[in-house]
Amino acid sequence: MNHEALSVLASLFPFLDWHGFFFLLFAGVACVAAVMVVLSDNVVRMALHLVLSLGATAGLFFLAGAEFVGAMQLMIYVGGTLVLLVFGVMLTAQTQLVALRTPAGDRVIAGILAAALLAVLVQAAFSIDSWQKAGQGVATAPTATPLGMALVGVRVDQVADENLVRPKSGYLLPFEIVSVHLLVVLVGAAYLARAKRRRVPRPVDLVASADSVKPGSPVAASSTLVAGGSE
């Protein structure tokens, strides 16, 4: 796709250029999906809308030139996190998937608060002039490599003539920290949701040990459970 072609288009139809069009598309999808997430009661529906929303934001990232982040978003967010969430939904939502409706009062309050928060944020968004100047549409180099280099610690993206006191710092340390952090989180999550071993004696054992087992002991309780269950 040729970027300068896009800028040419922009001039023809001021109201529509590639970037604007796609931006509107993705933004629209993202926002609508986000609202749908809030509105829908069924958790699985929420998951689907969330997928759409996150996918759209991935698109936005692509549009903004952050390809690597967009791909990462797609892979980790949509591929990993949401699958995890859906797993969560499946495992936990045995019965009342739909049942949990929040009381009307909360909804109204939340709405008001949301409006207030939105107003504040949007006002802030437009408060700075430099932000509003339309993007130059400058074709930028793909950021994957510099990003990789930055993570490893060499900042290739800074421009020489910047009057910086110190060169921009590389991200090696945070990168390592995040890796260790992820490891710890995984171990933690695995531990938290670990399979809790419960020894269920085989029927044969039960029979043999039935008489020797004290009536009150847990084994007896569990065995009766099982035995009861198995009748």
Partner 1 sequence: MAEFLIETIGLPVWLSWTAIAGLSAFLILNVIAGGALVFIWAERKIAARIQDRLGPTRTGGRFGWLQSLADGIKLLAKEDLMPDGADALLFRIAPYVSFCASFCAFIALPFAFDVVGQRLNVGVFFVVAVLGLEVFGVILAGYASASKWSLFGAMREAAQVVSYEVPLGMCVVVPVMLAGSMDLVTIGEKQAGWASNWFIFHDPFTFIIFWVYYTCALASVNRAPFDLAEAESELVAGFHTEYSGLRWSFFFMAEYGSMFLVSALAAILFLGGWNGPVPVSKLLGLSDGMAVNAPYALRLLGCVNLFLKAAVGVFVMMWIRWTLPRLRIDQVMTTCLKYCTPIAAAMFVGVMLWQLFLPGGLVPGSFQNAAGVREGWLEQSGSEESVNKDSLSGITPSRRIAEVSR
Partner 2 sequence: MAVAQLLPILLGIAWLIPLASFVAILFFGTRMGAHGKGAATVATSSIGASLFLSLVALVAWTTAGPPMPSPHHDEGHASVHRNNTDAGQSTRPVQAVVFRSPGHSAAGGSHASGHGEHVASASYSGDWYTLYASGALRLSIGWYIDSITVLMFVVVTFIATCIHVYAAGYMHDELHDVTDSEVQLATGEPLHREGRFPRFFQALSLFCFSMLGIVIAGNLAMVFIFWELVGICSWFLIGFYFERHSASTAANKAFIVNRVGDFGMLIGLMALWGGLGTLHFGDSVSSATGQVEPGLFELVRPAENHHEQQVPDGLVAFAAADQIEKMAAANPSRSELRREVAAAVPGWREQGYGRWLLFVAGLGIFCGCVGKSAQVPLFVWLPDAMEGPTPVSALVHSATMVAAGVYLVGRFFPVLTPDVLLVIAYTGGLTLFIAATIAVTATDIKRVLAYSTVSQLGYMMLALGVGGWVAGLFHLITHAFFKSLLFLCSGSVIHACHTNDMRKMGGLLKVMPYTGWTMLIGCLAIIGAGVPFVLGFSGYYSKDAILAQALLFSRTNPQHSILYVAVAGGAFITAFYMFRLWFMTFAGAPRDQHVFEHAHESPRVMTAPLVALAVFAVVAGWALPGGLGVESLLEQSRPAGTAETITTAGILGSITLPAEHESHVGAIHVTATLTAFLTALAGVLLAAAMYLKPLVSPAAVAHAARPIYTFLVHRWYVDELYNVLFVLPALGVARFISAIDTQVIDRFINSLAWIARQIASVDAWFDRVVVDGIVNVAGSVTWKAGLELKRVQTGNLRQYVMFIVVGTVAIFVLATLLFRTSFAG
Partner 3 sequence: MTFALFGVVSVSHYLVVGAILFTCGVVCMALKRNAVGVLMGIELVLNGANVNFVAFGSEYLAGDGRSVLGLDGEVMALFVILLAAAEAAVALAITLNFYNNHATVDVDRADDLHG
Residue ranges binding partner 2 (CB under 8 A): 102, 106, 109-110, 113-114, 116-117, 120, 124, 127-128
Q: Residue 74, interface with partner 1 (CB under 8 A)? A: yes
> Dihedral of CA 128/132/137/141: which sign?
positive
Which listed residue (16, 38, 110, 119) binds partner 1 by CB under 8 A? 16
Select 114 or 173, whichever has its Cβ closest to partner 2: 114
Nearest Cα residue to 155 out of 173, 174, 168, 145:
168
CA geometry: angle 20, 21, 25, nearest 5 deg: 115
Report, in Å, the least distance between residue 123 CB and partner 2. Answer: 8
Q: Residue 200, interface with partner 1 (CB under 8 A)? A: no
- Binders of partner 1: how many residues, by CB under 8 A? 47
* CA 195, chain centre distance (Å): 25
Report, in Å, the least distance between residue 133 CB and partner 2. Answer: 15
Which listed residue (25, 29, 36, 68) binds partner 1 by CB under 8 A? 68
Select 13 or 175, whichever has its Cβ closest to partner 1: 13
Q: Is 57 exposed, middle or buried (0-12, 13-18, 19+ CB in 10 A)?
A: buried
Cβ(17)–Cβ(9) under 8 Å?
A: yes
